[in-house]
Chain A
């Protein structure tokens, strides 16, 4: 019996101690009419060897494409030590650290994580993580609505340069609480949110303004002007930032005169593999004044009876297991194991290492853009500075270009038409530090060949050749 240690004599002795004839008797409080004996839709069990074979075959089928896709999840190098330590049983198979004395390892690690994240974002405090970047934005919006006591409108400005799936997720989560998410259009030349475009809301009651920087297109926003405008209107500022970028870019806590009020985002770039989209983790940091509005677990340092430093979950009066229907959020489990990985990752890289990763990503993306735009059918889509990721415009149908590239086991980027049809044939590309010059050349060579097969003398071929 897989994972069940009982011998026949164990079972007999245990039933005797209970005073039951057989195990079935133990279910006698379940109404007979409800009992269900079959599980015919579940196949017969497999040994470890059998399931290993199956999974290896399936993993093999999926290949390991050369990745130039970002769009919120990035292919970074992860030091071997990160997951070897993270999957130690003591981290891997522990529960939420409710028994603080027996969970000092996880608790101290989270305290170190909070310190690193607060430093990276330039904010005062951090929580112990949320599910992912998108749901972190939803929680940040709810937190801003609770925290901005001067505003009554529950209106939040969300530029369309914010990741489209973050916007959709936020809508799902806050929709039932009477919160209005107002979309702000972007400049089609720069790919940014123009501070002047907010004038239109001047004098209105705005609860918060969301700023993603670098934005979904990889374009740098005018964060100082946007932040100051929001504050001048009595709105809180919610920053979304890729943590890798923060090793180089001015952190949200230093935006404008007073800094953003809440910073959140996707923690995946910090040592978490792409892994089909999860588990990742959302991070959330804020100014001290908002700490009691924060959702999720928070670890604090305190002392024990002997005056020694120790760590414990704190501010639990915000949480669902104490406040029930009045809690700041229903969140319970967060993404502890991913926080473990991220903390070890940051400790191994340090500020200098992380800055080098950020530099390398940016340099590689620039090199990629330079190479790809040598082709006359490809040009940069926006004219403003970007970081680490950017959009390209193709003057021929993108789908026809991408399909043959897939066949070369290459992920050319993210097709923006899914979410921004007005941009036409637009591709979001990124080359992290893991892409080499040879990788970039390979992409360019394949692309040039694919394009030349579909064009003659500067015109797309009609009808298309096979």
Chain B
């Protein structure tokens, strides 16, 4: 039932509304609203019960194993939330003077410093609000760099065919043409194909390393050399930074610009689809173009670095400073981990992925890249099951929900047929991983003996499989009923 359907005229959460103030006589009549907006009238308890019950219809990290590949669904420490929500931080107006926010700015400055260290990039801006905005920022800086040098003939961004969809979408938003680079059989970028297309029209390349195929791009140094020789720049998509934290740094691999997904690697909550935070790090030659604001420190006070001292900045990305509260959570997480804890992130994320991959392979599942190490994630392909049993990756995914486990990422990356991209993260225990293997084995048996169990799955959720075609054809985006 929708909240609107529980509404009764005249019922309200009385404690939440201020007393009725004087009529707004000075507002011209033609600018006033004539009908109230469609909103429910419910008591406070009704609202609390309704939304608490809705929450219970969600899978989440706090309630289920959530091995969603490329999303790094690790435990979000509760302290990060409660400390970021201390009243002193929540009360800060974004335009309050620096002197009234030294505590907050100190956290932001120290976060910048730590991110420089873990990425090997000499300068950082925290302001991008999410990974995709970080990507936009990175490519916009690449463009600004070439433009500032009068090098305006570069019209192409190269993107491997395994890349996340935001990469090509971002390049287009920055006014570039996108050229896809094929992947070789081992999961690495096809270097020969790359050499063929690189040239004076190449503005740069967008790479994720480890790639979305769950493997480390081994010839990254050669790729960097090829791009740099042609005058292009390398963009690092930090989606998979969790796999290499403290092991290898994008700056050392030769990247010129990188974004980080703090909602992945630094364990800030995904919130049912955001908020994220996508800080960017750059090499020295790109530093003048970083988006603002950035936090500076003169040894005594923290302050905002503004356009006056960074005239070449690509500018602002939001009205204020970005997702400050997310950055605070990431800062707290980073301080709790410390440098020793960061090393362990990559160690145990990689151990868990390789263990799960080995166990699934031993249980008879086909790996997309059996001869490669898993990074923090790996791919199982159900091509054989699809051919022999007519069972798809989607069927496996939906059946896993009945086993009270969230499904891995399905049908991404696009170039592996019937794929499950599985990322267990470092915070899962061996027992949880074993339980996942058991569920997969059991589902495989069901696929062979009673495939309808999979085809009809899920059976245990609030709804069964939904008619997505109808959702897109007969659009129902807003409730059309009348509030009682």
Contacts and interface: CB of A to CB of B under 8 A. Distances in A.
A64 B17 contact: no
B34 interface: yes
B337 A90 contact: no
Contacts of A172: 140, 291, 314-317
B93 A3 contact: no
A83 B48 CA distance: 11
Interface stretch (A126-134, A151-159, A228-236, A454-462): A126-134
Interface in A328-369: 329-338, 340, 343-344, 346-357, 359-360, 362-364, 366
Contact of B358 (A18, A115, A128, A351): A18
A1 B344 contact: yes
Contacts of A77: 16, 18
B48 A85 contact: yes
A133 B65 CA distance: 35
Contacts of A19: 358
Contacts of A3: 74-75, 77, 267, 337, 341, 426-427
A305 B270 contact: no
B55 A105 contact: yes
Interface in A379-398: 385, 387
A406 B457 CA distance: 61
A169 B319 contact: yes
B379 to A, nearest CB: 16
A109 B37 CA distance: 18
B28 interface: yes
A247 interface: yes
Interface in B95-154: 95-97, 99-104, 106-107, 113-114, 116-118, 120, 129-133, 135-136, 140, 143
B319 A29 contact: no
A384 to B, nearest CB: 10
A301 B468 CA distance: 9
A93 B44 CA distance: 24
Interface stretch (B162-170, B279-287, B443-451): B162-170
A278 B318 contact: yes
Of listed B26, B28, B33, B89, residue having the most chain A CB within 10 A: B33
A387 B321 contact: no
A270 to B, nearest CB: 11
B428 to A, nearest CB: 7
Range class of the A interface residue count: 35 or more
Interface string B60-76: 11110010100101111
A47 B79 CA distance: 10
Contacts of B132: 320, 330-333
Given A325-B172, A351-B39, A94 B315 contact: no
Contacts of A60: 88, 103
A403 to B, nearest CB: 9
B338 interface: yes
B365 interface: no
Contact of B348 (A6, A276, A310): A6
B230 to A, nearest CB: 21
Given A72-B319, A102-B406, A41 B340 contact: no
B318 A131 contact: yes
B309 interface: no
A340 B140 CA distance: 32
A191 interface: no
20 contacts: A23-B351, A72-B320, A73-B94, A77-B16, A83-B85, A97-B58, A97-B273, A100-B463, A135-B133, A163-B319, A172-B314, A273-B85, A278-B326, A304-B466, A306-B464, A330-B170, A347-B50, A352-B41, A359-B24, A366-B26
What 8 A-B pairs have minimum CB-CB distances, sorted nearest first?
A89-B62, A45-B338, A277-B320, A337-B271, A59-B88, A58-B103, A277-B94, A41-B117
